[in-house]
Amino acid sequence: MPYTPDNDPATYKDRLNDIKRIYPLKSHESAFGHETVRYDNEHAAVVDYMTGIEAGSDEYARLEKTRKALAISAAIGIQSAREAINRMTDSQRATLDEYFAASAPPFLETSYRYAVETGKVASVSEWLTVPAAVFDDTEDTTNRPTGEPLLNVMQWHNDLLEQQAEDPDINARFESFKADFSKVASDMYWKGNIAVEPTLLDDAQLAVGDVFATRMQDMVGYYYPGSNEVTIQQGTGQRHTERKSELLEQFRPTLTHELVHLSLNRALHLEDGLMGQPSSRWLNEALTEETSLYIRQAMGEKECDDGTYREERDLLKLLTWHSDKPDQTAKMATRAFSGDVSDQLKFLQHVDDSWNAKDVIKKINAALAAKERQLRKEGMTRNRSIQTKALRHVYDTLRMDPTELLRASVEEIESAFEKAAR
């Protein structure tokens, strides 16, 4: 951090506050290159301010120190962004190309086309990662952190995210979506299918996610427990102006899913209770997606797809259909996921009774975790592939011959997998 209140002359503070007002959003701060763009803006503000200060004065010397620190911070940011692009997989590079082609403003397109036509680069990722010296004959880098055109791309990208985050049209659609969602959820509450009314919903905010943090990470959207914000993918497929109006429609399934996490999935927010623990991730995702599908149909979505998290939901269905009153079990499951620890204990006990065993879900979690560890040891790296493979394994075990798994203790399950992995 180059800037601290100690090295900050009071007159310079106002300018910094102006800059901070440009980037008010929490989620926006996690955007690709956000810090770097901020350092560069602050650097420009200091340079601008210094023109009115007498060279050689104490204040000038102090500002020069700040200026240098900001330039170095921006240069470090540019270097780490360059390294991140160098580490990209082929599919991430393709996403970057697509994003650039669909959304980049004309001045960047022209600059890129010039670099291609003069034979300096052959792709967007190359354009962004070649040393700045390649462009020395075309860019004046005096008094600025080096790194064009990467810096320009980061500036544009951050601007675009900010525009989308503040877009009144998108935000109005989100508010009306929340109102519809809330009606359906209240109805579920009065029918006894969920344990709480969706109170957290009033404050819920929508963030348009950074393509580097969503699509490039195989995520359409996400929600962090404890926040009041759901994030959905920015998308890359069409020009920004056309895409804007379709943003919520296109990502409606994800949005519903994340809103269920935020407003109904109380288990996720409880520190105690088995269902809120990371090991029960599969159960939370299964119940979230099942609830989300129900809500989407109730909200009038005509051609509802069959949803995500299939493997998680298959395992959940196997678990509940085993009971002689599957409807009641399903209801207890959604109440457990939206309720408190006592709702959870009731559900866990009910599952144990219907399988005539102890700690069924704990054992399933142990088996899943152990299988995932084993697959990682065997060299699998993609998270989602590891998860689905482990889920299918446990599903098959439970369906074909559950006795061994259910009779064992959690410790025995773990050590059996340890042996298998050797």
In three-state secondary structure terms, 12 is: helix
**Residue 221, class by beta-carbon neighbours within 10 Å (0-12 exposed, 13-18 middle, 19+ buried)?**
buried
Choice between 256 and 354, CB closer to Zn ion? 256
Q: Shortest Cβ distance from residue 103 to Zn ion (Å)? A: 27
**Residue 411, class by beta-carbon neighbours within 10 Å (0-12 exposed, 13-18 middle, 19+ buried)?**
exposed
Q: Shortest Cβ distance from residue 393 to Zn ion (Å)? A: 21
Please, what is the angle between helix 90-103 and helix 240-250, to 10°? 120
Q: Shortest Cβ distance from residue 260 to Zn ion (Å)? A: 8
Handedness of CA 123, 383, 229, 248 (dihedral sign): positive
102 CB contacts (<8 Å, ≥6 apart)? Answer: 236, 237, 238, 239, 240, 243
What string marks each residue from 238 to 277 as x (binds Zn ion by CB under 5 A) or -?
Answer: ----------------------------------------
Determine the size of the site formed for Zn ion (CB under 5 A): 2
Choice between 112 and 337, CB closer to Zn ion? 337
Closest CA relative to residue 104, chosen from 52, 145, 141, 159:
159
List the beta strands (DSSP E) in 18-151: none
The C-alpha angle 405, 410, 414, rounded to 5 degrees, equals 85
Choice between 111 and 365, CB closer to Zn ion? 365
Residue 164 structure tokens: 């989308």
Choice between 281 and 392, CB closer to Zn ion? 281
Q: Shortest Cβ distance from residue 27 to Zn ion (Å)? A: 17
Q: Shortest Cβ distance from residue 310 to Zn ion (Å)? A: 13
Q: Shortest Cβ distance from residue 261 to Zn ion (Å)? A: 5
Q: Shortest Cβ distance from residue 30 to Zn ion (Å)? A: 18
Task: Enumerate residues 272-311 that contact Zn ion by CB under 5 A.
Answer: 285, 288
Choice between 40 and 285, CB closer to Zn ion? 285
Please, what is the angle between helix 360-377 and helix 410-421, to 10°? 20
Distance of alpha carbon 152 from alpha carbon 159, whole angstroms: 11
Residue 312 structure tokens: 């998680």
Residue given tokens 């082609």 in the structure block: 101
What string marks each residue from 198 to 227 as x (binds Zn ion by CB under 5 A) or -?
Answer: ------------------------------
Distance of alpha carbon 362 from alpha carbon 383, whole angstroms: 21
Q: Shortest Cβ distance from residue 384 to Zn ion (Å)? A: 12
Choice between 28 and 261, CB closer to Zn ion? 261
Choice between 162 and 290, CB closer to Zn ion? 290
Choice between 225 and 237, CB closer to Zn ion? 225
Residues that bind Zn ion (CB under 5 A): 285, 288
